Structure 1
Amino acid sequence: MLTINNLHVYYGGIHALKGVSLNVNKGEILTIIGSNGAGKSTLLNSISGFLKYKGEIIYKDQKLNFSPNKIVQMGICHVPEGRLVFANLTVEDNLLLGAYLRNDKKGIKEDLEKVYTLFPRLKERQKQLSGTLSGGEQQMLAMGRGLMSSPDIMLLDEPSLGLAPLLVQTVFDIITDIRKMGKTILLVEQNAFKALSIADRAYVLEQGKIIMEGSAKDIANNPSIKEAYLGVKK
């Protein structure tokens, strides 16, 4: 569904991604784990069209060299790190902005109800200003807003960042529910234990390079990964 070949990204003199290659299969949850500064968010921003790069990104057999809005229209949604909700707009206005590029009014209405079913807390707060929501509620809103673009694949950047442990579990449960809706998930996450527990496959990104790949179960059971990311001593 999504293939990345030999991707290089530079920030001035900094070589952020160094020949990254990976593939995402339709219907799976693929997670990318790595420490701060490994290049995880850079990878997602490259797919979304926010960064210039060398190499190629292929989506549904078509090279991605379009503007971010066109990439969204093609079925790729990016839920950014830090949520980035529109604080001065209501919950419902934020959700409707997710459907800004759509013109199928019936489909938008149906998807809005699906989002409210998936996130009943947002239904309760639909007329509330988004800036007054808790961190967990804002994360739900960001994910719901992404779903309103009617994506085939969702890029989730650190969805559990800064959340209380109970809410972290809720967010990961919701990610599995989203996959059941027929969506493909590319998950970037520092909480390696949780990410690997719900993913089908995983890549480990370190200093801009893929150092390991495999099934999520195999990655989770790898002794070096256990020590580096899961807090388990050899």
Structure 2
Amino acid sequence: MLQIKNLNVYYGGIHALRGVSIDVKEGDVVSIIGSNGAGKSTLLNCISGIVKPKEGEILYKGQPLAKAPHKIVESGICQVPEGRIIFANLTVKENLYMGAFLRKDKDKIEEDLKGIFKLFPRLDERINQVAGTLSGGEQQMLAMGRGIMSNPNLVLLDEPSLGLAPLFIKTIFEIVEEIQNMGKTILLVEQNAYKALSVANKAYILEQGVVTLEGNAKDLLKDERIQEAYLGKKH
């Protein structure tokens, strides 16, 4: 579904991504793990069209990816940004409708809204509540729900568990699996390496803008280097 080949990104004199290549197969959850400043969010922002790479190629379904962010959304890619960036002064329902802003299929939008409330019952309970008054976990659910309302094939999730209480983290990763079960493909950027590897089919380790390791996520969970660097286990 998505192929990234030899991506190089600079912020001024900083070489943020260095020859990054990744493949995302349809229906998979692919996790990108790495510490702060590794280039994970930069990678997602390149796919979304927010950051322009200096070199490299991004193919979506075998074709060069559109350049304009709204065209990328129209093509079936949505990004749920880091930090739960919601419309704080709008209600839950209004936020969700904003996710469907580019869509014309009104009946399907209403059907998808019901699906969101099934996936996130808490949002249904707070349908008319102003989004800025929700808890952090509820805001994360809303950001994910709003993304799904664009009816994407590929969902880019940027640090969905960041700053959340353990109970909400568990819920968020259960929902990641539910989204995959809906037939969506997911590219997940996450600092919680254990959770990210537990839900993924494939994973990439990104360190200082370079892919240093890739493979089957379950195998990487058992890798001693990963356990020591990211899972806090010493050998």
Task: Give the paired residue count.
Answer: 234
Q: Over aligned residues, Cα RMSD in angstroms?
A: 0.5
Match of residue 28 from structure 1 = 28
Cα deviation for residue 64 of structure 1 reads 1.3
Instruction: For 2:140 and 2:77, locate their aligned partners in 1 and report how far apart those are by CA, in whole Å.
Output: 18
Report the TM-score when normalising by structure 2. 0.99
Cα deviation for residue 65 of structure 1 reads 3.8
Report the TM-score when normalising by structure 1. 0.99
Cα deviation for residue 203 of structure 1 reads 0.3
Instruction: For 2:93 and 2:63, locate their aligned partners in 1 and report how far apart those are by CA, in whole Å.
Output: 34
Instruction: For 1:199 and 1:65, locate their aligned partners in 2 and report how far apart those are by CA, in whole Å.
Output: 27
Instruction: For 1:155 and 1:84, locate their aligned partners in 2 and report how far apart those are by CA, in whole Å.
Output: 14
For structure 1, the residue ranges without an aligned partner over 5 or more in a row are none
Which amino acid in 2 is paired with 1:210? V
Q: Deviations over 1:144-171 (max 9, x none)?
A: 0000000001000000000001110000
Match of residue 96 from structure 1 = 97
Runs (4+) off by over 6 Å: none
Instruction: For 2:161 and 2:143, locate their aligned partners in 1 and report how far apart those are by CA, in whole Å.
Output: 12
For structure 2, the residue ranges without an aligned partner over 5 or more in a row are none
Match of residue 73 from structure 1 = 74
Matches within 5 A, 1:35-184: 35-53=35-53, 54-184=55-185
Which amino acid in 1 is paired with 2:74? Q
Identity %: 65
Instruction: For 1:131 and 1:226, locate their aligned partners in 2 and report how far apart those are by CA, in whole Å.
Output: 37
Match of residue 12 from structure 1 = 12
Cα deviation for residue 218 of structure 1 reads 1.1
Which amino acid in 1 is paired with 2:204? Y
Instruction: For 1:168 and 1:105, locate their aligned partners in 2 and report how far apart those are by CA, in whole Å.
Output: 33
